[in-house]
Structure 1
Amino acid sequence: MKLYYGPGACSMGIHVILEEIGKPYALEPVALKDGAQHQPAYKAVNPKSKVPALAREGRPILTEWPAIAFCLATSSPEAGLWPKDPEEQVRALEVMDYVAGTIHAQGFTRMFRPANFAPGEADLDKVKAQGRANAEKGFAIIDQQWQGGDWVLPSGYSVADAALFFVEYWAAKRAGVPLPPRLAAHFERMLARPAVRRALEQEGLSA
């Protein structure tokens, strides 16, 4: 397997999952800040021009965060990253979709890339403020609906935790967005996991 990733991007969560699984894989960095995702070489890998993308032997390249996480977790059941109970399975999908589709796309993307949403330069600050509000609202909802103990799901650690981690990391390390109590505690537990620390080190990021 090969993970196409951007250091510190949402692909960090998939990187964590690969480290948790423990099977051999390769890393291929994509220089997002330099616009490499829009160049022909990477568009041949993923025409959507974003990360993560996962190359699998003998199969088409897989894209989209929840799909990659589901694939990795279910193809490596021995790692215990996918819940066995059907209700918890749908809850895991629910959290992953909300993180990727709302907290990330409507929250942090507005903060980090406001020009993608603003009709003019005068609107950039409004877009950033809206993104911050969206991220804070998303975190508050997850905190209020928390069903687990230490981890997102009552049954224990799963790919849903890796999804939540990458937006928690952005909040704490990049954007200065306060995390609600349960999420702040979750973030600290994630930082203590060896797989998380290995992934961060490989991407040149601080724990």
Structure 2
Amino acid sequence: MKLYYSPGACSLGIHILLEEIGKPYELSPVALKEGAQHKPDYVAVNPKSKVPALDVGDGGKVLTEFTAIAAYLAAANPEAGLAPKDPLGMARAIEAVDYVTGTIHPHAFTRQFRPNLFSLREEDHPKTVEQARANAEKFFGVVEKVWAGDTWFLPQGYSIADAALFFVEYWQARRVGQPLPPKVDRHFKAMLERPAVKRALEQEGLPA
């Protein structure tokens, strides 16, 4: 397998899952800040021009979209225990991943990091960032409210939901420097203690 990633991007969650699985894989960095995602070589891999993308082998089959990749890794590696075995539990895991990738990521953080995508006028960028920060507080509040497990998000235990939550927690706590709600913060700190998380952060050159 080969993971196309950018250090500190949402692909960090998939990187963690690969480390949890423990099977051989390669890392192929994509320099997003330099626009490498739009270069022909990467567009040939992922026409969507974003990360993560996972080459699963077997003739160069590439999966895109965080939720799809996470679900595939869990299903293809059941021994790693990355997803609940019951249908409702799996649906809850996917539900959490989708909330992270479809709501928290774009509306709390892409708005902060790239306000030009949401406001055409530069003078409106500070308001866009302010709204994004308010969104982050609101969305993490929702996660706190619907928390169903103990240390991990789901009562069935550690899953793909935890790896997804970690990358937005990391952005909020480390990149933005804002506090997390109590349960979410406890989860963030527990994730930082997992060997797979430590290895992924080290490989991406990110502080713990």
**Residue aligning to 1:136:** 137
Calculate percent identity across the aligned residue pairs.
Answer: 64
Letter in structure 2 aligned against 1:7: P
Aligned ranges for residues 83-162 of structure 1 at < 5 Å?
A: 83-162=84-163
Kindly state the Cα deviation for residue 57 of structure 1 after the two structures are TM-superposed. Answer: 1.2
Q: What CA distance in whole angstroms lies between the structure 2 residues aligned with 1:126 and 1:43? A: 33
Deviation at 1:56, TM superposition (A): 1.4
**Is 1:26 matched up with 2:26?**
yes
Secondary structure at the counterpart of residue 3 of structure 1: strand
1:10-49 residue pairs with structure 2 within 5 A?
10-49=10-49
Q: For structure 2, which runs of at least 5 residues remain unmatched after alignment? A: none
Structure 1 gap ranges (5+): none
Q: CA deviation at 1:38?
A: 1.1
Runs of 4+ more than 4 Å apart: none
Cα deviation code 1:65-86 (max 9, x no counterpart): 0000000011000000010122
TM-score, normalised by the number of residues in structure 2: 0.98
Q: How many residues align?
A: 207
Bigger mean CA deviation after superposition, 38-47 or 189-198: 38-47
So what's the TM-score if we normalise by structure 1? Answer: 0.98
Residue-by-residue CA offset, 1:88-143 (whole Å, 9 max, x unaligned): 11110110000000000111000000011112101101111111111111100010
CA distance in 2, matches of 1:71, 1:168: 23
The equivalent residue for 1:73 is: 74
In structure 2, distance between residues paired with 1:10 and 1:76: 21
Give SS of 1:28's match: strand
- Matched residue, 1:56: 56
User: Which amino acid letter does the alignment assign opposite residue 109 of structure 1?
Assistant: T
Residue 179 (structure 1) aligns with = 180
SS of residue paired to 2:27: strand
Root-mean-square deviation (CA, aligned residues, Å) is: 0.8
CA distance in 1 between partners of 2:47 and 2:130 (Å): 30
